Structure 1
Amino acid sequence: MSGLPGRRDNLTAGPKRSSQVRPDDLEGAVRESLSRQVALSRPLSADPAGQAIRRANRIRRRRTGAGLALATAVTVLLGAGMVQLGAGTGRDGTPIVVIGDPDGANRPVPTASVPGAESSSGTSASLVVTETLVDPDGKRLVLRDIGAAERAQLLPGGGGWLVVSRPTAAGRTLWVVQDDGLVQVLLAGAGPIALAPDSRQVAWRDGDDLLVAGVVGTQLIGAARTPVPEAAEPVRFVGDSVLVRLDPGSTGHTLWRPSAGQMPTTVDRQTLNVYGSLPDGRLVGQTVGTDPGGTCLAVLDPTRHLAPVESSCGADLSRDGVGGVSADGRWLLVNGRVGKAGHALLVDLRRLGPAPTAVPAGPPMAGAIVWSNDTQAAYLDGGGDLVRVDVGRVRAGKPAAPAPVPDLPAGDRPVLVSGF
């Protein structure tokens, strides 16, 4: 291989590289290096954006499942003729939807306490409002983050409770409290509220209207409404109909079937209170008597505008409306008097007649009555003590005695519900 003249190697001649670096070149190199470091993405020790995305994905998946469940429930309710969407009642029937965050990472979890257990709450009562539920066996359950409650019912399947607040200047509140700790408001600022026995429907007064809706999870669906008189309020569900009291201070009831439209014009004018249902669908209630100020115990036919089909006027019944019928329809616990003393009375509904068999069963009742079976019942008296009634013992002349709820905080009045 030939080389260039004057060279002893095989390298070709080329421009020599200068060893001189100008200041502006050095500055440009530094700038380029720094810009590359800024553009380089580095992992963060905490990734809030990633957490938000993952949480959003969880919410989207859960809402998708909830949407399918709601669609199925609406189909079932409409197929059964229980509710009516949109027009048909003469008013706008916009469905009521409560939107909540289904991510339970930060939910307060209700704490169950059995008799003898100490409360584990270390939080100031001024910061967290609690409510105590008690079952007929005396077991306590403390619900946190809700207001003062008046009554509660188990959700379908026993996955939590529907809780109705005590009345306030702002109205009543209806909560759904799930057993995983989710506490969510279904209604706020409502008038009187009535719950179906299976907790699948709710009726309430709102302004000039009466509304009814289905309860699915933590939402109300398929709301139907109808205008009602000024003092009217829902009392209870009778099948798919709502028993409406026209005036709390007087007689008069009617049955509103939401799927049929507005309330019927035909009303009952002699019923004071309704205590419950018999297995055949008839109702047990209190009607005005023929004697001034007197009342009667009656079996009412809901298919004939609550017409009495059987009555007995021998017992001295209270007008407070507190009472409950056993599941088999045999027994009624109702407030009344024997002589001058107030009692909870046990009445044999199969032996009404001119003078019904009514015997003292315990102190007067306050609030709900829970029948555990056909012969065992429980209620709270005026002082918040638990009274357990055994039909056999009462009929043998041994009325039930009240017993304090174990470990109940001072000043707290529990709410009686069926077993947890």
Structure 2
Amino acid sequence: MRETLSHQVAVPRPLSPDPAGQAIRRANRIRRRRTTGGLALAAVATVLVSTVMAQLGDDSGGQGTPIVVIGDPNPSARPIPSAAPAPAPSPGTSLDLLVDGTLISATGGRLELSGVGPAEAAHLLPGGGGWLVVGAPTAAGRSLWVAQRDGLVQVLLAGAGAIVVAPDGRQVAWRDGTGLLVAGVVGTQLIGPVRTSLPADAEPVRFVGDSVLVRLDPDRAGHALWRPGAGQLTVGVDRTTLSIYGALPDGRLVGQVAAGDTSGTCLAVLDPKRDLKRVSTGCGPQLSEDGVGGISADGRWLLVNGRVGKAARALLVDLQRFGPDMTAVPAGPPATGAIAWTTDSDATYVDGAGQLVRVDVGRVRAGNQAQAVPAPDVQPGNRPVVVTGS
């Protein structure tokens, strides 16, 4: 009996399952896996940032390399959008506004954009998930910010020259030293930058489809188009185009050109596929040379700065009556900055006093000029910015 019991004690028995031990071992495995994955992601991000910065920093002309931010460095620091809706921006205004660092939606909701500062332009991102904000020019250059509706605000570019955003909000072009760069906008990142060289005084002014329109000299007439990925910028034969106001539905452009035999200017329809060759010309209205203007989405109406006698006014031009004897109807005070067409017959802009002007085509054609109304929360020295693309 003693020998039998001693044999039973000597034989090892399988241990019963230990849930706590299993959980600890599983947590250790997950921790090791996450640590390895995090180091790998950090290495990839470092290589990616280095590659992008090298591409952007090449031949910068001494202005410094623009900053490209990847990811969300500190999501816990996001400001919280105001839950209570504020008063609507203005009766009849159906677009977002940027007022002194605060985005005010058409419904009255407000979102503080911490750190953005004075802005030059703002554009809605695709899908309405946020905004791209172009900072006002400073001694250090311009900046580009992305602001999301959940309160995340990040800088995408800093120290850049002129910055333009595509109408659909999916691309950005900017001058960096002696170069022009174009990159795609995906979330809070700029991807796939492409670069070309620019003449000394040239700068991007707008997108035309997937191409970038470049004004060759701010003090002289002449533009060129550059299509990223199709080679370097080639300066064409155009030396008469002063401003481009936008595109018609068929892709042709409407711009202001020198009249030639007089000191005045005219409107012209231009073919972007043939070095901005004139297709037709329409003269008559007295146009300002400040380049401010915008075309309705259906291509019917042009709202542009000009003069009626000696008075500076915004003019409404019917592009369906384009020709040698075309006329313009005074629409309101002169515009500053972007003109936002919210429908095919309604446009909103900011005048020289920082007030909002809403143009109703039907009322203007009936002889009732648009009136300026105060924008919300505007303090002396500040100017609201209309959000385009909304």
Partner of 1:359: 329
Partner of 2:13: none
Partner of 1:115: 87
* Cα pair 2:305 2:334 within 8 Å, conserved: yes
Per-residue deviation at 1:412?
Answer: 2.8
Partner of 1:253: 223
* Cα pair 1:171 1:189 within 8 Å, conserved: yes
Unaligned runs of 5+ in 1: 1-49, 71-84, 118-128
Aligned residue identity for 1:109: I
The whole-number CA distance in structure 2 between the counterparts of 1:99 and 1:138 is 31
Q: Relative to 1, partners in 2 of residues 1:95 and 1:183: Cα closer, same or farther, differing over 3 Å?
A: closer
Match among 303, 312, 316 for residue 282 of structure 2: 312
Aligned residue identity for 1:216: V
Residue 152 (structure 1) aligned with residue 135 (structure 2): no
Partner of 1:286: 256
* Cα pair 1:135 1:418 within 8 Å, conserved: no
**Counterpart of 2:101 in 1: which secondary structure?**
strand
* Cα pair 1:343 1:362 within 8 Å, conserved: yes
The whole-number CA distance in structure 2 between the counterparts of 1:108 and 1:411 is 25
The whole-number CA distance in structure 1 between the counterparts of 2:258 and 2:389 is 36
| Aligned 1:57-72 pairs, distance under 5 A | none
* Cα pair 1:111 1:143 within 8 Å, conserved: no
Partner of 2:69: 98
* Aligned-pair identity (%): 65
The whole-number CA distance in structure 2 between the counterparts of 1:279 and 1:168 is 36
Per-residue deviation at 1:170?
Answer: 0.4
| Aligned 1:155-304 pairs, distance under 5 A | 155-304=125-274
Per-residue deviation at 1:413?
Answer: 1.6
Query: Which deviates more, 204-213 or 101-110?
Result: 101-110
Residue 395 (structure 1) aligned with residue 329 (structure 2): no
Larger radius of gyration: 1
Partner of 2:6: none
Aligned-CA RMSD value:
3.2
Per-residue deviation at 1:100?
Answer: 4.0
The whole-number CA distance in structure 2 between the counterparts of 1:300 and 1:275 is 11
Per-residue Cα deviation, 1:20-53 (whole angstroms, up to 9, x for no partner): xxxxxxxxxxxxxxxxxxxxxxxxxxxxxx9xx8
The whole-number CA distance in structure 2 between the counterparts of 1:407 and 1:400 is 21
Per-residue deviation at 1:228?
Answer: 1.0
**Counterpart of 2:273 in 1: which secondary structure?**
helix
**Counterpart of 1:417 in 2: which secondary structure?**
strand
The whole-number CA distance in structure 2 between the counterparts of 1:111 and 1:239 is 37
Aligned residue identity for 1:115: P
Q: Relative to 1, partners in 2 of residues 1:402 and 1:111: Cα closer, same or farther, differing over 3 Å?
A: same
Q: What is the TM-score normalised by the length of structure 2?
A: 0.78
The whole-number CA distance in structure 1 between the counterparts of 2:103 and 2:288 is 27
Partner of 1:6: none
* Cα pair 1:379 1:386 within 8 Å, conserved: yes
Q: Relative to 1, partners in 2 of residues 1:296 and 1:145: Cα closer, same or farther, differing over 3 Å?
A: same
**Counterpart of 2:364 in 1: which secondary structure?**
helix
Residue 336 (structure 1) aligned with residue 336 (structure 2): no
Unaligned runs of 5+ in 2: 1-27, 49-53, 90-98
Equivalences, count: 334
